[in-house]
Structure 1
Amino acid sequence: MPTFNTKTTSFLALAALTLLFTSLSSPGAAADGGVVPRRSVLGNETVLVLAEERTRRKDPLDDLNYYTGGWNISNEHYFASVLYTGSTLFLIASFWFVLFGIFLLLSCMYFCCCRQRSYGYSRVAYALSLILLTLFTVAAVVGSIVLYTGQGKFHDSTKDTLEYVLGQADSTVGNLKSFSSYLTSAKTVGVDQVFLPKDVLNNIDKVNTLVTSAADTLGSATQDNKDDIFNSLNTVGLILIIVAAVMLTLAFLGFLLSVSGLQFLVYILVIVGWILVALAFILCGVFLVLHNVLGDTCVAMSDWVGNPTAHTALDKVIPCVDKATAEEARSQSKEVTFQMVQLVNGIIANVSNRNLPPIAGPLSYNQSGPLVPLLCNPYNPDKSDRITCIPGEVGFTNATQVWKNYECQVVNSKCTTVGRLTPSMYDQMSGAVNVSYGLYHYGPFLTNLVDCTFVRDTFDAIHKEHCPDLRLYSRWVYIGLLMVSEAVMLSLVFWVVYARERRHRKYTKQADAEASAAQASYESKEP
């Protein structure tokens, strides 16, 4: 059980961290939903291929053949194929950096060497460059707004998902600790100096050790991962906000400087923008890769939930405890509950409900009146679930209220009024009922935990309730980031083009003015 909870928490942390970068289907990723997972034979067992259609991508480690192994974070071919989905954006960043660098170098050489040459001037080229520069600046503004808005909604959706996952983990820790406390209490519960058998007490120690260790491990892992997860979330949000703000400022500033004719400042800004655009495309590629990893994970979780008995790649991350181990833990819980009820009923039948003479010693305390009803045991002797109780028996939920009517007043440990339970006996029996009910109540929870039902329910809720919003808003982030990168990239080009056309226009007008002045001077000197 400790191993199960440690690895379960690690995977929940992995899923939560990956959810920071979810987005909709992207190049190289098939749409999810409605696909029956394929089963492949590995050795003597059948293995379910998770998210097979979605993960069918070209694998650069396999001569660009399609990867067919499904979601598997331990497979290098899976990571190579998903990394390949961002290669287009990485190549764009590389080509942009190299080609625009060459363009800047050639432009500088041309402007420096040809500064005194005459320039041609085209009104169409000048107007067109200004119009396109304005359009691309507006596109950069729109992209920044989309990016900023998307990251805000994406941040909130991701935070909700993380809080749900962490809440589930905290709830599990609380339930485990409550279950453990009931087990501890069971060791000390006794009625009229009668306690549980020694072998049952030994089993309590065995199960309690496992449960306590599991609770401590899960609680520690959750607390350790909690800060890291939220710090990562805040860091991603901050990076996206900075990118939106920097790109928006760059686009506005470049437009104003270009229109104002401050060429030297424009060239400096072009160099800065040249580097920032390359970094923006790289960030866009990284976001796309991380998006695909999580998109695959969401579909893999859905496939895993729908095939609870199949062997999958998730088994390496969450090796669910086998059925024998789960049944052992559940059996011990049933055994303690059964024995506790038997202990209480034994005292009721053999002591409280017997009209013993005074010479019977400590077993006789002047008990009288109606017989105390027995406690309904939820299990049969073979520990199978008991369907119905015998008429007259009381259940865990109302036993203490019913037994209160059979309590007598005592003096010197003897009943002085009608009743069959002394206050001390009533308190001891009430304690036994509380412990029994606690074990009975948390028994199914323990079984669900060790057989991975808890994790499956968590993954199912994430896939159905959280993934849709995360995908929608991450699409906004991706679109906004791509719009900003492309708009600023094209704006940089037209900063240079417009600056060139503006300079040509200036020199052309200056040359025309000088020519006109010379012509006027020449005409004024003619007789």
Structure 2
Amino acid sequence: MVFLKTVAFVPAFSLFLFSIFFCSSNAYSSPPFYETSGGNPFPEEKNGVVSWRRVAEEIAPAPAVPLGNESFVLAAERTRRQDPSNDFKHYTGGWNLSEHHYWVSVAFTAAPLFVIAGVWFVVFGVVLFLSCCCYCCCPRRAPSYSRVAYALSLIFLLFFTCAAIVGCAVLYTGQGKFHESTTETLDYVVGQANLTVDNLKNFSRSLSAAKTMGVNRIFLPTDDQAKIENLVTKLNASANTLQNRTEDNSQKIQNWLDTVRYFLIVVAAVMLFLAFIGFLLSILGIQVIVYILVVIGWILVAGTFILCGVFLLLNNVVSDTCVAMDEWVDHPHARTALDDILPCVDVSTANESLYRSKEVSYQLANVVNQVITNVSNGNFPPIAAPLYYNQSGPLVPVLCNRFNSDISYRNCQAGEVTFKNASQVWRGYVCEVSSSGLCTSVGRLTPDMYNQMVAATNVSYGLYRYGPFLTQLEDCTFVRETFNTISDRDCPGLRRYSKLIYIGLVMVSSAVMLSLIFWVIYSRERRHRVYNKRHRGASAHALTQDKGP
């Protein structure tokens, strides 16, 4: 069961990786870095509070079975199967890997194959036992020979041997494609997790830079620096936790996938060898080894039928998971079984992360504007040093602060420079300075002040651009985008190749099972044919002697 959950969960492995991050204490996160093109970068923010959930794009909802209180059953129609543990009533709980009845109902779809394995093992075992008893205890009669039976047994033996070879080829091809598809899916999810780690660390570095950022010896308030330090510590801890657990768990799953691949290759090779050697020895008439192979094949066929059932179950779970991911992406506001694994609704964490990024961005822009307004644009007498450094000329335009003092969004006003053109505009206000630090040409910014202002502006802009997306992991937008990509790109291949493995196993087990039967039949007919030839030869020789002189 652990193996099935591991392999079947590869399409949804991203929810596991991201849940690690969310379950970390007071985790903060950032998705891939985007740049806004203007306007309000917080379209779903109302009064500074992030809405309960949002998705990256609007998708028409798929039909499903709604429950009360905005609950939603994932893959309801597809998972509607008989549940033996509930008096064979139809299971209605939808996709839920933590639900016992889900696993019982999906396992019941493979029950026919398990029954075939059991019936084959018991019936053929009884036949072998009775055959041994008859061979050892019953008197032997003169064998009868039929040319039709001999020819048909040879034809069927050849046909089922070829079918076994084809089945082994299908199984080998299917396992290779399945391993390639699951590995690509795993690599993609791990790449998304690593991208999250990189953005967490980048955001942490931006905050660290903001904490020590100052312009003309004006810095952020001490209490705000302490808050930033606390947030940076949490960010780094979350990034390290996600990185370490992603590496560990992805390696474990990759090892499972490799083990499954090697196991299927061994199964294909053993069954191919058994079918070919059994056919060859039957043709050559080496009966003792043929009977030994029959006993070995009897056990292997039963095991292969059980493996068929396991992969049929796996195919159904993979398909259920892909459908569940589609519906989960399409219904962002409903409560589903995935909410027990992905605690996306962490509003307080989302709001605090967003608020802190906006607050620091506002304060840095405010520090820059204070220097411009109170120092650079002032006309001080020489005795007012260090406020006086012989600044002169046109006034320096202030930086457009994208937030008000209450951290609400504001538009840029006329005469303000934006984050994008501030460094270029301010360069025209830089003066040449003497060794004493005084301007020797027209200008209101010294090179050091200009560099500090540009650095503070860049950090403020970085936090501003990160802000709209800080909640994409908490509200599962980033996970939804990942699921959507997996569903569109990887799920078709996962379903197709897991089904191909199942088909290959059915072909191999059925062909080898029938080959075993015709090994015995053909060996018997061949022995009878040889006996009859010898008997006829002996009779003809005796008749010739009787007619002699």
TM-score, normalised by the number of residues in structure 2: 0.86
- In structure 2, the residue corresponding to 1:447 is in which secondary structure? coil
- In structure 2, the residue corresponding to 1:232 is in which secondary structure? helix
Quick one: distance in 2 between partners of 1:363 and 1:50? 66
2:39 maps to what in 1?
none
Equivalent position to 2:385, from 338, 353, 361: 361
Once the two structures are superposed, residues 93-116 of structure 1 have per-residue CA deviations (whole angstroms, 9 ceiling, x without a partner) of 111111111122222333444574
In the TM superposition, residue 385 of structure 1 has moved relative to its aligned partner by: 3.2
1:168 maps to what in 2?
192
In the TM superposition, residue 187 of structure 1 has moved relative to its aligned partner by: 0.8
- Are the aligned partners of 2:74 and 2:94 in contact in 1 as well (CA < 8 Å)? yes
Unaligned runs of 5+ in 2: 1-14, 24-59
In the TM superposition, residue 7 of structure 1 has moved relative to its aligned partner by: 5.9
In the TM superposition, residue 372 of structure 1 has moved relative to its aligned partner by: 2.3
109-118 or 501-510: bigger deviation: 109-118
1:246 maps to what in 2?
270
Quick one: distance in 1 between partners of 2:198 and 2:185? 20
1:405 maps to what in 2?
428
Quick one: distance in 1 between partners of 2:206 and 2:20? 24
Once the two structures are superposed, residues 139-186 of structure 1 have per-residue CA deviations (whole angstroms, 9 ceiling, x without a partner) of 111111111112212221111111111110000011011111111111
259-268 or 79-88: bigger deviation: 79-88
2:444 maps to what in 1?
420
In the TM superposition, residue 523 of structure 1 has moved relative to its aligned partner by: 2.3
- Are the aligned partners of 1:8 and 1:455 in contact in 2 as well (CA < 8 Å)? no
- In structure 2, the residue corresponding to 1:391 is in which secondary structure? coil
- In structure 2, the residue corresponding to 1:490 is in which secondary structure? helix
1:36 maps to what in 2?
63
Once the two structures are superposed, residues 387-444 of structure 1 have per-residue CA deviations (whole angstroms, 9 ceiling, x without a partner) of x422333222332233233222322222223322222212221221221122122222
1:200 maps to what in 2?
224
Change (3 A) 1:129 1:476: same
2:146 maps to what in 1?
122
In the TM superposition, residue 318 of structure 1 has moved relative to its aligned partner by: 0.6
- In structure 1, the residue corresponding to 2:490 is in which secondary structure? helix
2:375 maps to what in 1?
351
- In structure 2, the residue corresponding to 1:161 is in which secondary structure? helix
In the TM superposition, residue 300 of structure 1 has moved relative to its aligned partner by: 1.3
- Are the aligned partners of 2:372 and 2:398 in contact in 1 as well (CA < 8 Å)? yes
Q: Which amino acid in the other structure matches residue 378 of structure 1? A: R
In the TM superposition, residue 347 of structure 1 has moved relative to its aligned partner by: 0.7
Quick one: distance in 2 between partners of 1:249 and 1:9? 45
In the TM superposition, residue 49 of structure 1 has moved relative to its aligned partner by: 0.8
Map 1:81-160; keep pairs closer than 5 Å. 81-113=105-137, 116-160=140-184
1:323 maps to what in 2?
347
In the TM superposition, residue 520 of structure 1 has moved relative to its aligned partner by: 1.9
- Are the aligned partners of 1:11 and 1:317 in contact in 2 as well (CA < 8 Å)? no
2:87 maps to what in 1?
63
63-72 or 354-363: bigger deviation: 354-363
2:414 maps to what in 1?
391
| Pair 1:469 & 2:493 matched | yes
Quick one: distance in 2 between partners of 1:166 and 1:326? 23
Change (3 A) 1:244 1:513: same
Quick one: distance in 1 between partners of 2:184 and 2:419? 37
| Pair 1:289 & 2:316 matched | no
- In structure 1, the residue corresponding to 2:72 is in which secondary structure? strand
- Are the aligned partners of 1:144 and 1:480 in contact in 2 as well (CA < 8 Å)? yes
407-416 or 446-455: bigger deviation: 407-416
- In structure 2, the residue corresponding to 1:421 is in which secondary structure? coil
2:234 maps to what in 1?
210
2:302 maps to what in 1?
278
Q: Which amino acid in the other structure matches residue 261 of structure 1? A: G
1:53 maps to what in 2?
77
1:19 maps to what in 2?
none
In the TM superposition, residue 256 of structure 1 has moved relative to its aligned partner by: 0.6
In the TM superposition, residue 34 of structure 1 has moved relative to its aligned partner by: 9.2
- Are the aligned partners of 1:5 and 1:218 in contact in 2 as well (CA < 8 Å)? no
Quick one: distance in 1 between partners of 2:175 and 2:394? 71
- In structure 2, the residue corresponding to 1:362 is in which secondary structure? coil
- In structure 2, the residue corresponding to 1:311 is in which secondary structure? coil
In the TM superposition, residue 266 of structure 1 has moved relative to its aligned partner by: 0.8
Q: Which amino acid in the other structure matches residue 528 of structure 2? A: H
Quick one: distance in 1 between partners of 2:166 and 2:336? 44
- In structure 1, the residue corresponding to 2:418 is in which secondary structure? coil
TM-score, normalised by the number of residues in structure 1: 0.90
Quick one: distance in 1 between partners of 2:538 and 2:291? 28
- Are the aligned partners of 2:18 and 2:193 in contact in 1 as well (CA < 8 Å)? no
Quick one: distance in 2 between partners of 1:141 and 1:180? 58
Once the two structures are superposed, residues 307-334 of structure 1 have per-residue CA deviations (whole angstroms, 9 ceiling, x without a partner) of 1111111111111133343122211111
Quick one: distance in 2 between partners of 1:379 and 1:219? 33
Structure with greater helix percent: 1
Q: Which amino acid in the other structure matches residue 247 of structure 1? A: M
Quick one: distance in 1 between partners of 2:217 and 2:467? 27
1:307 maps to what in 2?
331
Once the two structures are superposed, residues 233-274 of structure 1 have per-residue CA deviations (whole angstroms, 9 ceiling, x without a partner) of 111111111111111111111111111111111111111111
Once the two structures are superposed, residues 199-218 of structure 1 have per-residue CA deviations (whole angstroms, 9 ceiling, x without a partner) of 43243234333322221221
194-203 or 236-245: bigger deviation: 194-203
Quick one: distance in 1 between partners of 2:289 and 2:490? 47
Size of the aligned set, in residue pairs, is: 498
Quick one: distance in 2 between partners of 1:301 and 1:210? 30
